[in-house]
Amino acid sequence: MTSGLALGAAVLTGAALGAERANTNPTASVPMPAQVPAKRGIAELPGTRLEYWDTGGDGQAVVLLHPATGSTAIWGYQQPVFARVGYRVIAYSRRGYSTSDSVPADNPGTAADDLRNLLRFLGVRKCHLVGSAAGGGVAIDYALSYASDLYSLVMACAVGGVTNPDWAAMVARIRPRGFDEFPVEFRELSQSYRAANPEGTRDWLALVQKSVTSNRFGQMPANAVTWAKLEALKIPVLLIGGDADLYLPPPMLKLYASHIPASETAIFAEGGHSLYWEQPDLFNRTVLAFLAKHR
Specify the CATH number for the domain of residue 150: 3.40.50.1820
78 belongs to a structural domain: yes
Phi, psi for residue 139 in degrees, rounded to 5: -65, -45
Q: Is residue 160 part of a domain?
A: yes
- Alpha helices (H) along the chain: 79-84, 111-121, 134-146, 165-174, 184-188, 191-196, 198-211, 227-231, 250-258, 275-278, 280-292
Domain assignment present for residue 283? The answer is yes
* Structural domain boundaries, residue 223: 3-20+30-292
pTM as predicted:
0.91
Count up the domains in the chain and report the number: 1
Residue 246 lies in a domain: yes
Task: Check residue 275 and give its pLDDT.
Answer: 98
Q: Among candidates 86, 95, 83, which has minimal Cα distance to 39?
A: 83
Q: What pLDDT shows up at residue 18? A: 38
In this predicted structure, what is the pLDDT of residue 14? 30
In a domain, 104, yes or no: yes
The answer to the question of residue 25 being in a domain is: no
Whole-angstrom Cα distance, residue 279 to residue 192?
Answer: 11
Ranges of residues in the chain with a pLDDT under 50 are 1-2, 5-23
Q: Is residue 50 a contact partner of residue 114, using CB atoms and an 8 Å limit?
A: yes
Q: What is the pLDDT of residue 161?
A: 83
- Cβ-based neighbour number of residue 284 at 10 Å: 18
* Domain annotation covers residue 262: yes
Among 27, 146, 114, 37, smallest CA distance to 83 is for: 37
- The Cα 286–Cα 139 span in angstroms is 18
pLDDT in tens, 92-103: 999 999 999 999
**Residue 16, pLDDT score:** 36
119 lies in some domain: yes
